[in-house]
Amino acid sequence: MTTTTFSEFTLPQSRTYSRRGPVRWLLSHLVRYWYLVVVMLIGAFGNAALAAVIPVYTGKALMVIQAAQPAARALLEIAVVIAVTQVIRGVLQLGRNFGAELIAQHMERDIREELYVSLLGKSMTFHNLQPVGDTMARATNDVREINFMFSPGINLVIGSANFIVMPLMLASRYHPALIAAPLFFAVSYFLALWQYLHELRPVTDNVRAAFGDLNTRLAEALDGIETVKGMAQETQEAGLFQHYAGRFRDFFVQQGDIEARFVPFLLMALTQAGGLLHAIFLYRQGALVLGDVVAYFGLLLLLGFPTFVSLFAYSQVSLGIAGARRILELINRETELDQNAAGYARPMRGAVEFHEVDFAYQRGEPVLSGITLKVEPGQTVAIVGQTGAGKTTLVKLINRTYDVRSGQVLVDGVDVRQWNMETLRQQISIIEQDIFLFSRTVRENIAFGRPDASLEEIEAAARAAQAHEFIMGFKDGYETVIGERGVTLSGGQRQRLALARAFLTDPRILVLDDSTSAIDSATEDKIQRAIYAAAAGRTTFIITHRLSQIRWADLIVVLRKGRIVAVGRHEELLQTSEAYRRIFRQAGE
């Protein structure tokens, strides 16, 4: 059974996974590779069984040597058996390791894909609240811990478990009472292991969480490095990083302390010493021969492998489960928006209506209250107001970046919640003041919304956005790779590329959120004409303080503290709205 969560975006998947807990989730992934699990189990059992051949046949060889007339042929046969079985054992061990490694790599790949698709499907509310550094820690290091959990973790756990089984299976063939020592080890070992894992779990959870916090601190410092340097806060940031690094270290030390107090070596020593004394006692009573004592003690020596690997294999499993718990928590985090794949999906005319809309972020103070507004297809609407009035939030309700708390937003008379999310957003383009560009070529950035666009179409969009000239000034033209977030470009260049990207998609609704703020006055007239041409035939919302853009709008909406205080044309509002006159005077200063 799978846990259903809403998602803005999902890919068709032939397989679903149980998300009711980290272990069930991992098992639902693992069952896909059952054949590799079979290979690993056969290899593990065969490896342990053939490892037991050495002490058994060593005991037989000793009996042959002790005979009055040692048979060279018998010794040769024993040597051949041991040699052949150990070659086969090597092959089986290779199969076990290879199967475990394939499982680990497949699991890492599948979980990365599931997590990535899940993150793409989360709402902006989720991404605004979730630290990027912590998300990256889960998507990289925690996923990697799951890989290590299977190889070498579970690989060694399964292999070592079979080495515990062999003495239990074979000890009684020499004398029924000899099962006592391996049985003592098995019972005490698993009791100690249960207590060890119970004590280790919260610590490994803390280790993974501390790493996420450390990564978050690093990501924030690097993302804001210009601010850090501009305010000479390097020492302060270094101190904060040392604090988080210290917490990570402390939890790791705590984990090491728990591992140091795990007692498998003591249990093994007691088992081997007690078992040998028991076997010697039976030998003195005539119940065993010397070869049986040697073979039995050789079987007890097999317990060294599970004892050794227990020091790190089980902690690796615990870390892997802790990582799985953190990844699953992220995947299962509820998001409020649904892609509504079966929803309304038709070409858009561009009519927009807000009807008694209220909105607040995460049950905070209302950002918008009682918004009622009707925009006809093809109209250009300028939205003005003081900072914090709710202008950007208002337009982001149209493409469902956020959903209303109450009321309705209608596009072409259909509630946006009834639209197919992909169809809705493909026909709406929002250009924000903070332009995001990818560290790819100029061509790929412009064609981001239409990857199949031809170079001629891309150039036409760039010309319309007054970007073609500066693009051709680059050494590689449209194949120039720009830096991350477009840092190698000026503010005006970034915004013109964003305009070109919007023009290429030919949206029915275009939103310009103060998108020409970084354009110099020499370029403004050209950009103004481009925007005016782009607005023809499509509904356009402009959030701006520029008088030149406010004047030619078909409709001007004045927002104040989340409410509409005036709606009309420029000349009308100058006569009737004091709030608009004040904004207009400030814009002209």
**Bridge partners (DSSP) listed for residue 383:** 543, 557
Q: Which pTM value belongs to this model?
A: 0.77
Tokens for 399, please give them.
């493409």
- For residues 125 and 364, the answer to whether their CB atoms sit within 8 Å is no
Q: What is the pLDDT of residue 44?
A: 94
Q: What is the pLDDT of residue 11?
A: 58
- Per-10-residue mean pLDDT of the chain, 589 residues long, equals 50 72 93 94 94 93 80 87 94 94 95 89 78 87 93 92 93 93 94 88 88 85 78 83 89 86 88 94 92 94 91 88 92 76 88 93 83 92 87 91 90 92 88 82 90 92 86 90 72 82 88 68 66 78 80 87 90 85 68
Q: Say how far apart CA 581 and CA 465 lie, in whole Å.
A: 31
Q: Say how far apart CA 120 and CA 512 lie, in whole Å.
A: 24
Identify the structural domains of the chain with CATH numbers, from first to last.
22-332 (1.20.1560.10), 352-588 (3.40.50.300)
Candidates 73, 58, 90; CA nearest to 170 is 58
Residue pointed to by tokens 């270094």: 238
Residues 6+ apart with CB under 8 A from 448: 438, 501
State how beta strands 406-411 and 563-568 pair: unpaired
Q: What is the pLDDT of residue 1?
A: 36
User: What is the chain's Cα-based Rg?
Assistant: 35
H helix or E strand, kind and range, residue 188? helix 180-223
Q: What is the pLDDT of residue 53?
A: 94
